Chains A and B, each alone.
Chain A
C-alpha cells in the first residue's frame, strides 16, 4: 500500500504545486484564481454532459498514452504516435466505406484490427527495423514517419485527393453507420470507446507484468546490455515494443474516428498523439496511471474552454499548468530536498549546541 501511495504521491503533489503557481500567475495579472479554477472544474465535471465529454476526450489520450508507456518501458521513446494515429485512421476509414455490406460488429472489428496493424507497422516495424539493423535513432525515425503520416492523411482529403467526398468540405465519405461506436451518455460525446480504452489498459497491464513477453520487454528497457547477456534478443524486442506501441496509437485513431467524426476530416490540430506523451510521463508508464492521467488532461482541455468563457483568462493557461506539472514530476527530488533543507535550518537554529553528525551539504 505504501508503494502505491509513493507512486501516486509525486504526480499528485506535482499537480498541486503547479496549480498553486498557476493561481498565483492568474492573481498577478488580475484574475480571481478561485473563479478561474472553479470554471475549469465545472467545465470539466459539472453535470453529465461535461463529464461525458471529459471521459470521451480521454479515450484517445489513454489509448495512445498506453502505447507510449509501453515503448518507454522498453527504454524507447516513441515520439511519433500522432502520425501512427492518423495513418491508422486513414486505413480504418478506407475499410469503413469500402465494405459497407458487412455485419456491423464484424465490420467494426475489421476496422479496429486494420488500424492496429497499420499503426503497428508505421510506428513499430519500420522504426524498429531501422533501429535494430541500421542503428537509426527511434526518436528521429518515429518523428519523421509521424510527419509523413499526417501529411498523407491531409493529402487524402485535399482538393483532388484520393479519399475526398465530392462536393463537400475537405472530408472523406462516412464509414458504414452500423459500425459506429454507440453513445453511453446521451447528448455527450461519450461512447463505448471508453470501455475499449479501459479494457486496453487492463490488457497492457497484464501483458507487461504477467507474461514472459512483458518481463523481457521491461528487462530490455531497464538494461539492454544485461538483457543481451541473459540471452534475450534485443533487436527483436525493439521491433516488438515499438510495434506494440504503434498498435495502441493506431487503435486510438480508429476508436476516436468511430466515436466522433465517423470519417476523415480536417481535425489534424487535435494533437492527441503529442498530449499522450505527457499522459504517459505523468502516469510514470503505469497502465492504470495512464487512465487517470488521460482523464486529467482531457479535463484540463474540456474545462479550459469553459474557463476562458466564464473568467476570460486565455485557455493557454492550462498549457502553462501542464508544463509545470511535468516539470515537478521530473524534479521529484525537489520536495525531499526542500524538506531536508528546511529541517536542517530549523534544527540548526534550535539546537546549535548539539554537535552535528553525519554529512554536511556543500
Chain B
C-alpha cells in the first residue's frame, strides 16, 4: 500500500499518460470525422524527430515544438489526401505512414546528425513548478516539475471535449463521421471536415511525439515512440472515441506502467511486470467496458455524386 501512497507513482502515471493521451485524442478527432487512423505511431515519430531537429537549428525548444507539430500536420495532410481524395484503404495507408516515418526518421538521423545522434546541447521544453502547492506535499509531488506539455495536455483534453461536443464545428465533424450523405445533403463539405479532423489529429499526435523528444528528454532515438502510437490507438478505442475516455484509458496505461516500474524494487521480474498494462486492458475490455462502437462511417471513403 505504501507504493500507492507514494506521490512518485502518480507523478510517473501522469508523465507516462501524456504521450498516450495526446495521440489518442488526435486519433479520436480523425475517426470522429470518419477516417480510420492507425498512423499515430508514425506521426509521433515525425513530430519527435523534427521537434528535436528544429530545436537544435533554431536554438529554441518552442520553435522546435511548432515545427515538429507542423511536420506532423504535413504528413497527416498527405495521409488525408490519399484517404479522402483517392479513397485509399485507410488501414493500409496508416501502416504505410508508420513504416515510412520510422524509416525516414532513422535515415535522417544518420544522414543529418551522423552516428552520434542528436547533439547533447539541444534545448528542451521547461518544467512547471508551482510554489503555492508546497503546503500540500502529495499534490506537490505529483504535479510539480512535470513538463509544461503535461499541463498543455490536460488543457487539450478539456478543450477537445468542449470542441467536439459543444461547438458547431465539432458537431459537423461528428456528423460526417456518422452519416456523410446526410451531412452532404445538408450542405456541409464532407471532405473539408474530414481534412480538418485528420489534420487536428496529426498535430496532436506530433505534439505527443515532441513530448518524448524535447519534453522529457532532449534527444531523438531511432523508434523512440516504442509502440506508444499503437497503445494510443487502443486507448482511443477503449475510451469509446471520446477525449475524456481516451484520457482515462491513457491514465490506466500510465498507471499500470508506473506501477510495474515501482514494483521492480521488490525483486519481481521486469518482464512479468511489463505485462501489467496489457493484462489490465484485456480484463477491462472483457469485463468492464463492454462493446465499443466506432463512428458509423469510420473508415468508409465518401464519394461525392454530382
Contact = CB atoms under 8 A, between A and B. Distances in A.
28 contacts: A77-B91, A130-B282, A130-B285, A134-B286, A135-B290, A137-B285, A137-B292, A139-B233, A139-B237, A140-B234, A140-B237, A140-B281, A144-B278, A145-B278, A147-B274, A148-B278, A151-B271, A155-B272, A314-B107, A316-B110, A316-B222, A319-B100, A322-B99, A324-B96, A325-B96, A330-B89, A331-B88, A337-B86
Given A147-B278, A151-B272, 7 more contacts: A139-B38, A144-B234, A152-B271, A324-B96, A324-B100, A332-B88, A333-B88
Contacts of B185: none
Contact of A135 (B233, B275, B292): B292
B274 A319 contact: no
Interface in A108-152: 130, 134-137, 139-141, 143-145, 147-148, 151-152
A326 B87 contact: no
A317 B275 CA distance: 33
B245 to A, nearest CB: 14
A77 B90 CA distance: 13
Contacts of B98: 323
A323 B286 contact: no
Contacts of B246: none
B7 interface: no
Nearest to A83: B278
A147 B104 contact: no
Nearest to B306: A362
B286 A136 contact: yes
B271 A158 contact: yes
What's the interface size class on A, roughly? 35 or more
Given A29-B111, A144-B234, A320 B91 contact: no
Interface in A16-31: 29
Given A130-B285, A323-B97, A331-B82, A316 B107 contact: yes
A183 interface: no
B103 A320 contact: yes
B291 interface: yes
B95 interface: yes
Given A29-B111, A152-B271, A319 B86 contact: no
B97 A147 contact: no
A314 B106 contact: yes
A325 B230 CA distance: 21
B285 A151 contact: no
Contact of A323 (B87, B101, B292, B306): B101
Interface in B71-114: 82, 86-89, 91-93, 95-104, 106-107, 110-111
A316 B106 contact: yes
Contacts of A320: 100, 103-104, 107
A277 interface: yes
B103 A145 contact: no
A319 B99 contact: yes
B167 interface: no
Contacts of A317: 103, 107
B273 to A, nearest CB: 9
A278 interface: yes
Nearest to B101: A323
B177 to A, nearest CB: 17
Nearest to A136: B285
Interface string B3-39: 0000000000000000000000000000000000010
B92 A326 contact: yes
B58 interface: no
A14 B88 CA distance: 13
A329 B92 CA distance: 8
A290 to B, nearest CB: 15
B238 interface: yes
Contact of A319 (B102, B227, B290): B102
| Most chain A beta-carbon contacts within 10 A, residue among B96, B97, B111, B222 | B96
B285 A140 contact: yes
What's the interface size class on B, roughly? 35 or more
Contact of A314 (B87, B102, B111): B111
A327 interface: yes
A265 interface: no
A323 B88 contact: no
B46 to A, nearest CB: 12
B103 A322 contact: yes
B190 to A, nearest CB: 13
Given A140-B237, A333-B88, A327 B82 contact: yes
A326 B95 contact: yes
Enumerate the 4 nearest inter-chain pairs by beta-carbon distance, A residue then B residue, closest first: A323-B100, A319-B103, A135-B291, A326-B96
Contact of A141 (B93, B102, B282): B282
B217 interface: no
A154 interface: yes
B275 A147 contact: yes
A311 interface: no
B279 interface: yes
Contacts of A79: 230
Interface in B273-306: 274-275, 278-279, 281-282, 285-286, 290-292, 306
B269 interface: yes
A350 interface: no
Nearest to B271: A155
A299 interface: no
Given A135-B292, A144-B282, A317-B103, A151 B92 contact: no
A79 to B, nearest CB: 8
B239 to A, nearest CB: 11
B99 A323 contact: yes
Interface in A306-362: 314, 316-327, 329-334, 337, 359, 362
